[in-house]
Structure 1
């Protein structure tokens, strides 16, 4: 209980700093002043932006943890499994075929493409030898190659139809565009994360493998299908805030080293840790070149890449 409380306390502090940081001169004392200008800035920009960072960060981290458990590999994440790239395919298809589609429609199409991409990756993994270790790099390599091919094709089509700028805005995680009325879909991510937490015990047993889970009386295929929620969570985050690199890889690995493989105990730490990392990276991006902003993707890419190198060098010793 001590670790979740520490992470949650750090998250609350980071959120307060986020509310008081920005181009507009609004200190922490102004947050509770009740003035019209302060209230407008808070309600229209700062609060939605902070909530978007919390919801998207926690959702992508939880999605990464569930994907790692269902695929029995510690190097799997929404970005290394091609899930984010397939979600971008859905966004590009909507931009080409039905540009007037609502945000909800974009979310549905992106989610369908992300689920299809995850299913394709699972089909490819079935062609590999059945016995794989959690530290096997073959699985993420296949995911990266699949995602690279899809991303290359998406970039070509976007270039052909003069949509490269739109594709770049979808790829880069940019919270500066988040305002009231443009982030509420992320509550779907929160609902799915709660559903996965309620099924955490089943997911933990499924992580033991099909034979062990079946021997314990668990419908392995049904539980693994819950991982579809991870693809949907990733797609919604991409639609609203863009891609968040390394988040779904680094945070679950760090949490598993501290909390073990029991998802019931680890998921709250994963969710809070993902939210904390996203909020901190967003605040750093606003302060590095103040009053201008650096995309949260850039900051998170630097931090996540360093953490990923550490994970690779130390290895994953859990079977």
Structure 2
């Protein structure tokens, strides 16, 4: 059985390359229509009565449209980041939340706040992207140097690393009286999204295009360093490039929205269960289901205790934790059966 060149562990489910050349299938069209319906529901969900007030249409374009667009872009970004991470590490349990990438982005935001008293969104985004890249590379380098016998240890290491970085951020925040910045970041919410405060999220479209252009090479990287190199792929350069794309997506989301846990874990695993691991054919599905997932969670967060709003990170964290446990149990079941 081939061993993972990064984690050093045997992978029970090697990437299976399926030829789904036809993207616009009936099921995909149904999924797109469902997301469009969720988008319409999102546009008309909220405490403010946009149909009964004189400035209703103005508020509709100032708040509702940007929020729905931000939901779609954010859902696609975090889902894609999780998908690329899982391919590179050959581990279904890896995503920005379970590798410490999110916590590194938060540390980057905190450092920016300390260096620049009133940082612009561009500065915050730059700090989050830079630290996300550094943190993700540290995680990958650690996995390449340490051979692990179980793939379940990989996310545990990432969670432990994230906890350490989170503790460092909390200590620095307390030391320099900047805890409010950390608290706002940990509570990922779309409540403050409005026109003029979300436009950087459109850079995610560029990230999506780049991932699609390099999809075949990233899929080969998912086969392991030895196989990818034998097929003419510069593995190290590709991992560095993929890490940069992940950092850009996660950093932008962290700066604009905040912490959104487990989205990159839920969506890629659902898609891979039915479609295998071909990045090019899975990418549209991952984007669409990522959009739908976060919109459902956001609609629930806005309506569960109306007129108040629950941070969407709480809904995502709850759902994601349940899915995370379910995936772990699903991976362990075949081993028990083989031992009988």
Q: TM-score, normalised by structure 1?
A: 0.92
User: Aligned residue for 2:39?
Assistant: 15
> What's the counterpart of residue 302 of structure 1?
318
For the 8 Å contact 2:49–2:56, the answer to whether it is kept is no
User: Deviations along 1:56-81, whole A, 9 cap, x unmatched?
Assistant: 11101000100111111111100111
1:238 and 2:254 equivalent? yes
> Hey, what does 1:125 align to over in structure 2?
143
Displacement of 1:37: 2.3
Given that residues 111 and 231 in structure 1 are in contact (C-alpha distance below 8 angstroms), is that contact kept between their aligned partners in structure 2?
A: yes
RMSD: 1.8
Residue of structure 1 in register with 2:212 after alignment: 197
Asked if the contact 2:93–2:324 (Cα under 8 Å) also holds between the matched residues in 1, the reply is no
1:47 is matched with 65
Please name the residue that 1:279 is paired with: 295
Runs of 4+ that moved beyond 6 A: none
Report deviation, 1:169: 0.7
TM-aligned CA deviation for residue 226 of structure 1: 2.3
Map 1:1-319 → 2, pairs under 5 A = 1-26=25-50, 30=51, 37-129=55-147, 136-227=151-242, 228-315=244-331
| Structure 1 residue 313: Cα displacement | 1.4
**SS of residue in 2 equivalent to 1:315:** helix
Give how far 1:282 is off.
Answer: 0.6
- Asked if the contact 1:110/1:235 (under 8 Å) is kept, the reply is yes
TM-aligned CA deviation for residue 10 of structure 1? 1.2
Once the two structures are TM-superposed, the CA of residue 101 in structure 1 deviates from its matched residue by: 2.4
CA–CA distance in structure 2, aligned partners of residues 77 and 155 of structure 1: 22
State whether residues 74 and 316 of structure 1, in contact with CA within 8 Å, keep that contact through their aligned partners in structure 2: no
Query: Which one is further off, 162-171 or 283-292?
Result: 162-171
> Which sections of structure 1, spanning at least 5 residues, go unmatched?
none
TM-score, normalised to structure 2, is 0.87
Deviation at 1:192, TM superposition (A): 0.5
1: distance between equivalents of 2:247 and 2:30? 29
- Cα distance change on mapping 1:155 and 1:274 into 2, 3 Å: same
Structure 1's 198 and 157: CA in aligned 2 closer, same or farther, altered over 3 A? same
Counterpart-to-counterpart distance in 1, 2:54 and 2:224: 57
Shift of 1:316: 7.9
Cα contact 1:196–1:226 (8 A) shared by 2: no
Alpha-carbon distance in structure 2 between the residues aligned to 1:259 and 1:191? 25
CA deviation map 1:123-178 (0-9, x unaligned): 2112222x867xx1121111111111000010111122222222111111110000
Distance 1:7 1:132, change over 3 A: farther
Distance 2:152 2:117 in 1: 39
Aligned residues: 309
Give the deviation of 1:114 after TM superposition: 0.6
Cα distance in 1, alignment partners of residues 235 and 317 from structure 2 = 35
Structure 1 contact 115–231 (Cα < 8 Å) conserved:
yes
